[in-house]
A and B are shown apart, each in its own frame.
Chain A
Amino acid sequence: MNEIIDPRSVDRPNSYIGKSVPRPNAKKLVEGRGQFVDDIALPRMTHVAFVRSPHAHARILGIEGAEALKVPGVLRVFTGADLSQHCDPWVAVLAHLKGMKSAPQRPLPLDRATWVGEAVVAVVAETRAIAEDAVGKVDVAYEPLPAIVDMETALAPSTAVIHSDLGDNLCFQRVNESGKVEDAFAVAHKVVEATFHTGRHTGATLEPRSVLADYNRASGKLTVYHSTQAPHMMQGVFAKHLRIPEGDVRVICTDVGGSYGIKVHVYPDEVAVAAIARIMARPVKFIADRLESFASDIHARDHRIKARMAVDAAGRITAIDVDDLTGIGPYSVYPRTSAVEGNQVVNLIGGPYDFPNYRAKTTVVLQNKTPTCQYRAVGHPIATAVTEGLVDLAAEAVDLDPVEFRRRNLMQDGTYPRTSPAGMKFEGLSHIASLDKLLGMIDYPGLRAEQDRLRARGIHRGIGFASFIELTNPSPFMYGIGGARISAQDGCTVRIDPDGSVLAATGVTEQGQGTEAIIRQIVAEAVGVPIDQVRVITGDTLTTPYGGGTWACRGAGIGGEAALQSGLAVKEAALKVAGAMLQAQPDTLDLVNGEIVEKRGGQSRMPLAELARIVYFRGDTLPPDLPRELMQTRHFITKEYPFAFTNGVQACSLEVDVDTGLVKLLKIWCVEDCGRIINPLLVDEQVRGGIVQGIGGALYEHCIYSPEGQLMIGSMADYLVPMAAEMPDIEVGHVETPTKESLLGAKGAGEAGTAGAPAAVMNAINDALKPFGAKVFAQPFTPERILAALGKVPVTWPGNAGTAASR
């Protein structure tokens, strides 16, 4: 078995791992020559628009499409009844989330609409504009039903039950407990507690959800061009629910204009499109527009968390106790389920810290609002905000500097492997080294001195910290064991072509984060060819090894490892042939820069292209029994750890205008340990992008509902996403603690920024407001909420609640 090349050896040719190599697919993107789903036009292509429910909960009494069908250019009108003849419903539960329940869901509902924006009727026309014209002419008769809109009362006996077959509105509940929490609180030196809220928000991918499905009745094949993160998974979903053999379904994922978890779920309206293509045997395209995206893309992070922390006289955390409530939609989302976010909250709170007693309960309730599911950093931003918010309160209660409090309580470096009180297995983390590195990047005493100076002038700056852990490289313990056909393994096929160039086909997908780039780097280094000789294909279920796609930060750690192993296997195979051709032992040869060379001395013996020519065209000149497999496939799955946990720490410097409640972000720093870094440039930009996405939830983004369940945001003027003028520069640093689960040693990095940013921002705001004794715990931290905390305007829902109680 060939050894891993040390990426720090910069003199080695083909040592691409660890280098900031530019992305090969960036050139076409900067020239506007990518291929997003909406760029694809097929002959006789049709377009879909949906009639969407204006009610949060209503019985569908009747659907009349006659007037719509009269509009010139309209082809068909489909109802839930029409599609149910061709499409089986799904139920989104996971067996290992005990007791979880959800109702069957169809592409279009049969008799009830259960959230504002749910697709109820599909109109198919020659253009999207005509389809929209016709949507206005479909007549749907509704009988409004009571809408469940308040998660706090969703389980009250007097509250109507959304799905009577389920008995109540409880989707999932779990208590994660270890140690003796009550005892610890009883004897605590100090107890701090707060009620946190994270506001429901959504991904707002710039390229909306996009799908183009085409069914060829003659061949029985369904081809779906899909802006998705997991094409193989979608292949299985379309096959299963449309009753088509899996081998007759091809999903092709070309360029994706942002996904962040939003595009890894099964959307009923997208399944409807595939069903319609099956029925009409014509290409059917659906591009969600921005208005319908707000109501139909999955939402996330709608939580109320009551939490308390006990500390002893030495300033050590002794216990954490958490009551998490989250309101999802009327259905759990398929196939990952909408209980995972709450489950991760109770698995991740307290994660970085060394303390013995833990209890965390999550209650996941159904509501008549847009369904929720996994969105970048799933549960982490919530868990980190709760943990780090309690940590700052505790530090204040025992009169310790927040950094010093963390230093005393973080799991020490070198004490791994170990398991957290929440039951998470850590192979190796670097909390202290990361904290030290962060402090080296910021001038902490300088920031504090400046804070004091400016306070005297009435300018209020704050510094906030957030330590965090992040789960990456998921094993089947995340979904597979629950019965979901979600692949935690991945594969890569590497092929040497006759000209000596290399093709790598991978089951992980490109979403803009740089998958093609890192696979190319890894394969080039593993095989031993110049990087520009390597081409990568991804996203096509027909031409790539079966894999899981992109989610939970698995591309580098799992996809990359498969690429590394298959590249090394191809090199080994090539050297076997070379040995035969050169009358030498294969282990005296190497493949470097596309040349077969002598290991000792480095003398070039022949170009790889020559070897390939012989294998492919002059096989007669080789020993008859010689294996000549210049194409190798390897798959990788993690072995010992359910997740490869990473760690990091962020700091945020900001200024609060205490007259207006507006927050000005000054600078953010992040140290991230994601194991072996394949491409520092790509990782840093993932961290930066993730941080800004986290800031969105912390300061701006909120899917607000009326008491009747009407979604109050419908445009980019209502739904505020972070834009360039308000965002700060972000400095990123790294510590590298590789995982031993793989040769590559890479963990994931894509979600870390989002995990820590809201907590760092919250703690910085509260640090700025310290002279006023004001605190905020409800995201987004709007000017109104900050002014309310300062007592300058009345408190409206939800109120801020934070106390540091001492005994």
Chain B
Amino acid sequence: MIQVEHMNKTFKVAKRSAGFSQAIKALFQRETETIRALSDISFSIGDGEMVGYIGPNGAGKSSTIKILSGILTPDDGTCIINGRIPWKERKEHVKDIGVVFGQRTQLWWDVPIIDSYELLRDIYEIPTQTYEENLEELTELLSLKELLKTPARQLSLGQRMRCEIAASLLHSPKTLFLDEPTIGLDAVSKLAVRDFIRKQNKKHNTTVLITTHDMQDIEALADRVLLIGKGTLLFDGSLPDLMTHQPRENATLDEIIAALYRDYDI
């Protein structure tokens, strides 16, 4: 259960125009601009729901994920996940969640994947039997068998991403945050990852929050869509509801979303 109410987050961003004289000026007078990354965000996600979180670049998706995973503190507002406030009880909270940041890696790049997994087992204090079962299941579903003995640095992006997803699920988290998990994947890997996330949700009733720019991810996975733009939550509803914003007949999903972004002026 994820409950977010009236959450705000602002960042200070240093700004200056291009050019030498501007750079000199910035030495003496630093211009900063306050960006409202999130303003008054409220939503609630029930157990076992699969929710897509979409919005244009810089809308505040990643900031939300970071707050939900307890590594960023919002300015105000409340957020309760499985009865805990993420940034206040970080260590307890993270035991229950799995996070995949599509653009980063959690695998130790110079050791074989299996070593990283065993380290995670000890870090999360996963009982041996649970670990073995999870590993077996993940290896099979994500076809990792050949990859486990290879160091992370020698894997391709798609192979690595499959290993990353498995790494985030070893401790059987109740909640899964996926921040662009299909970025840069080929068609086969994408399908495999989507298929896997669906199965995981069915079998373990895992709550999934996924951010992505790939509308097919949303189509394949999300029962519900949250649309965020310029830090505000603009839409919360099912995918078919979202589809009613058709700019013209037979518009593709991407076109619908683009039209939606235009309509909301984000």
Q: Do A and B bind each other?
A: no
Where the two chains meet, the residues of A that have a C-beta atom closer than 8 Å to any C-beta of B are: none
